[in-house]
A and B are shown apart, each in its own frame.
Chain A
Amino acid sequence: MINSYSFFESPILALLPFYPLLSFLLLITFAKRLSWSQASFLSIGAIGLSALSSAVMVYQLQDQDFQIITVTLWSWFSVGNAQVNVSFYLDALSSVMMMVVSGVGLLIHIYAAAYMKTDENFSRFMAYMNLFIVAMLILVLADNLVLLYLGWEGVGLCSFLLIGFWYQEKANVLAARKAFIVTRIGDTAMAIGLFMLFSALGVLNIVDVNQMAQNSWQVGNESAYWIALLLLGGAVGKSAQLPLQTWLPDAMAGPTPVSALIHAATMVTAGVYLIARMNGLFLLAPEVMQYVAWLGAFTLLLAGVAALVQTDIKRVLAYSTMSQIGYMMLALGAGAWSAGVFHLMTHAFFKALLFLTAGSVILALHHQQNLFKMGGLSKRFPIETGLFFIGLICLVALPGTSGFFSKEAIIAELWSSPTAGAGLWWCAIIGALLTSIYSCRLFFLAFLGQNREEMHKNDSVGDELSRLRLPLIFLAVLSLFGGLISLDLSSVFIANTSIIEHSKEPSWLHPVAITTPFIGIVFSWFYFKQYRRNTGKPIVESQTAFVKFCRNGLGFDTLYYSCLVRPYCWLAKVNRLDIIDQIIMLNAWYITLWHDALSALQNGKLRWYAAALGLGVVCLAGVLIGGNS
């Protein structure tokens, strides 16, 4: 029996997403009339309330019989027999996401308030950030797929608004547009999937869908296959996986807190959440599970290779995000639901930490993002270096860090999973190797060696950085010890893990998985010696065709540009006058013709009127006489 409450019985959960909404409305209404302290108090306070409510709810959830709380706010609309309610559904899975969104969101908001202090549109920025949290919480808490879709589109909108926040730069606007259009492709697939789901099952409530799908369809059912595939399309777009991954690196044009919040910690993991949420459906389509796993594997390798040659610190992190989400997808595809969600959580911690620390460094260097122009930062910013180091060891998954627990959990499930296998296991291992190599390259280039750019004298950045530090320290603690949070998601996922037999696995799997990052580190220690030991001379970046190819994301942008964008623009140009429009315009032309003819009669010349009158009378008389005779 699920405990269902109405609004008044559980106001904490019911109001949870609405504090930031209120704050958003106030901020967007009063905008520049608010001072920095008022605006930041409002926005951070609202998120703080949400985070506090989330914590209370997670605590209350432990007392529930089935660890599920639902709250119905109001009835939205009804389709056929299905009632679509605005109601929230809290179980172990959504509570993890809720805590990540509101908790990490709160820390990033605190950081952002300090980071964006001097921006003249500070209120607008915080308003969008708050709106994003609202949409994300609705997405996470929605008990039916329509409400989830509302949140899904809401986060897409906020992503668009925030990437293009500095809209006076053309590059930012183009990046925002690209992100919006590319994710829209996935969203369209998802919408079609939802329509098919509704016509097949007649319900949209997530719990009902999973249950009815399990009850009424066999494994390998065709409609389950298509619906799962279309939902995967949506997840792929939002989570920047192959083949819709091209928007994420460009999305780094937005302010750094945005990259941390939306494009690393929360929104891009929405696809992972969707698949985990719909696990009952995906289990019925093992082929789609395999696609998920292979897509994840390809993405993590591709993004790892691309991250190896990036010159922009934020783009390295963007590709790294793509690759880590690839791991999550791989886990989901292998049926290791809990491991995937666990990695989602730890990744949110350490990737937010990495992005925010990178943001501090970028701010201190006066918006220098090129790795080859950094160097020697460990001497200038020892604390930031330490924080970044913590983030990186979690990313690399050194034993003991949170990343280690989650990534090892994923890799351990792959070998014997029915939908994954040895091939995918090796992909994951190579991915881990790539991760450690690009992480080392990044660290060596930026923090070790000597400074390669002229230092600004009399910099007062120390003050500024110390204001940014508090949330970073929290995130660092979470990154290091987040692995100790035990997630019990067994109540959420339909158990198929029992199929996985670990007994037949070779014994060398675990040692290999654990030592891989160290191999990568040792390799880079020697291979990137010149980065490490640099004495302040400029480093020439390799410019061979292959490196350039990798740097541009392995040619996907070029491919899409020549295969999709150019033909489309050509078509638009050719069809500028719109053939279908011309057919409709024929009507207009016909009417215009009559208009011209009739208005020519009204020339204002009295004598013509008199003549016409006479002619008319003669005609009339002729008719009358002709008729009579």
Chain B
Amino acid sequence: MTAIPLEHVLIFASILFSIGFIGVIVRKNTLFMLMSLEVMLNSVGVAFIGAGSAWQQADGQVMFILILTLAAAEVAVGLALLIQMHQRFQSLNIDKLNKMRG
């Protein structure tokens, strides 16, 4: 079994992170922003797994499980907010939520 070099893993994770980040910035739809956030979280997970296998440590995988849990909780809260938002504004456009200017 050929080990994948750490550099490749990190480059892949960075590309994934950038895609997710750009998604967060450019999408107006809150649902897609949440999905982009998931992508970003997963890119971090990939980086942890890569690092864990490079140094033969279990910590990376422990962290990945932690991130997975976090992502699940985040999605739960995020989707609940999304439903509330849809009920109040009949829209998922995040730019409409700027009334408090902060």
Chain A positions near chain B (C-beta within 8 angstroms):
602-607, 610-611, 614
- What is the CB-to-nearest-CB distance from A621 to chain B, in angstroms, rounded to a whole number? 12
Q: List 26 A-B contacts (CB under 8 A).
A: A602-B101, A602-B102, A603-B98, A604-B97, A604-B98, A604-B99, A604-B100, A605-B94, A605-B95, A605-B98, A606-B94, A606-B95, A606-B97, A607-B24, A607-B25, A607-B26, A607-B28, A607-B33, A607-B94, A607-B95, A610-B21, A610-B24, A610-B25, A611-B25, A614-B21, A614-B25
For B25, list chain A residues within 8 Å (CB). Answer: 607, 610-611, 614
For B33, list chain A residues within 8 Å (CB). Answer: 607
Number of A-B contacts (CB under 8 A): 30
Complex: A168 Cα to B48 Cα, angstroms: 87
For A610, list chain B residues within 8 Å (CB). Answer: 21, 24-25
For A607, list chain B residues within 8 Å (CB). Answer: 24-26, 28, 33, 94-95
Complex: A604 Cα to B100 Cα, angstroms: 6
Complex: A253 Cα to B101 Cα, angstroms: 61
- What is the CB-to-nearest-CB distance from B67 to chain A, in angstroms, rounded to a whole number? 18
For B26, list chain A residues within 8 Å (CB). Answer: 607
Complex: A603 Cα to B97 Cα, angstroms: 10
For B102, list chain A residues within 8 Å (CB). Answer: 602, 604
In B83-102, the 8 Å CB interface with A consists of 94-95, 97-102
Complex: A602 Cα to B100 Cα, angstroms: 9
| Contact status B101-A604, CB under 8 Å | yes
- What is the CB-to-nearest-CB distance from B1 to chain A, in angstroms, rounded to a whole number? 33
- What is the CB-to-nearest-CB distance from A596 to chain B, in angstroms, rounded to a whole number? 14
In B19-76, the 8 Å CB interface with A consists of 21, 24-26, 28, 33
For A603, list chain B residues within 8 Å (CB). Answer: 98, 101
Chain B positions near chain A (C-beta within 8 angstroms):
21, 24-26, 28, 33, 94-95, 97-102
Complex: A4 Cα to B94 Cα, angstroms: 88
7 interchain residue pairs of minimum CB distance: A604-B98, A604-B101, A611-B25, A602-B102, A610-B24, A606-B94, A605-B98
Nearest to B99 among chain A residues (CB) is A604
* Sample of 8 more A-B contacts, CB < 8 Å, known A604-B100, A604-B102, A614-B25: A603-B98, A603-B101, A604-B97, A605-B95, A606-B97, A607-B33, A607-B94, A610-B24
Complex: A120 Cα to B95 Cα, angstroms: 67
Select the residue from B33, B97, B100, B102 with max chain A CB neighbours within 10 A: B102
Complex: A603 Cα to B94 Cα, angstroms: 13
For A602, list chain B residues within 8 Å (CB). Answer: 101-102
- What is the CB-to-nearest-CB distance from B58 to chain A, in angstroms, rounded to a whole number? 28
For A604, list chain B residues within 8 Å (CB). Answer: 97-102
Select the residue from A602, A604, A611 with max chain B CB neighbours within 10 A: A604
- What is the CB-to-nearest-CB distance from B89 to chain A, in angstroms, rounded to a whole number? 14
- What is the CB-to-nearest-CB distance from B10 to chain A, in angstroms, rounded to a whole number? 14
For B95, list chain A residues within 8 Å (CB). Answer: 605-607
- What is the CB-to-nearest-CB distance from B81 to chain A, in angstroms, rounded to a whole number? 12
Nearest to B18 among chain A residues (CB) is A614
Complex: A604 Cα to B94 Cα, angstroms: 10
Select the residue from B21, B25, B94 with max chain A CB neighbours within 10 A: B25
- What is the CB-to-nearest-CB distance from B41 to chain A, in angstroms, rounded to a whole number? 14
Select the residue from B28, B33, B98 with max chain A CB neighbours within 10 A: B98
Complex: A610 Cα to B28 Cα, angstroms: 12
- What is the CB-to-nearest-CB distance from A618 to chain B, in angstroms, rounded to a whole number? 10
Complex: A602 Cα to B25 Cα, angstroms: 17
Nearest to B22 among chain A residues (CB) is A614
Complex: A605 Cα to B30 Cα, angstroms: 12
Nearest to A607 among chain B residues (CB) is B25
- What is the CB-to-nearest-CB distance from A210 to chain B, in angstroms, rounded to a whole number? 73
Complex: A451 Cα to B84 Cα, angstroms: 95
- What is the CB-to-nearest-CB distance from B7 to chain A, in angstroms, rounded to a whole number? 16
- What is the CB-to-nearest-CB distance from A603 to chain B, in angstroms, rounded to a whole number? 6
- What is the CB-to-nearest-CB distance from A508 to chain B, in angstroms, rounded to a whole number? 97
- What is the CB-to-nearest-CB distance from A597 to chain B, in angstroms, rounded to a whole number? 15
- What is the CB-to-nearest-CB distance from B84 to chain A, in angstroms, rounded to a whole number? 15
Nearest to B98 among chain A residues (CB) is A604
Nearest to B21 among chain A residues (CB) is A614
- What is the CB-to-nearest-CB distance from A495 to chain B, in angstroms, rounded to a whole number? 85
Complex: A555 Cα to B26 Cα, angstroms: 82
Nearest to B101 among chain A residues (CB) is A604
Select the residue from A603, A606, A611 with max chain B CB neighbours within 10 A: A606
Complex: A606 Cα to B85 Cα, angstroms: 14
Complex: A610 Cα to B34 Cα, angstroms: 13
- What is the CB-to-nearest-CB distance from B20 to chain A, in angstroms, rounded to a whole number? 11
Nearest to B95 among chain A residues (CB) is A605
For A614, list chain B residues within 8 Å (CB). Answer: 21, 25
- What is the CB-to-nearest-CB distance from A600 to chain B, in angstroms, rounded to a whole number? 10
For B101, list chain A residues within 8 Å (CB). Answer: 602-604
Complex: A59 Cα to B33 Cα, angstroms: 102
Complex: A602 Cα to B101 Cα, angstroms: 6
For B98, list chain A residues within 8 Å (CB). Answer: 603-606
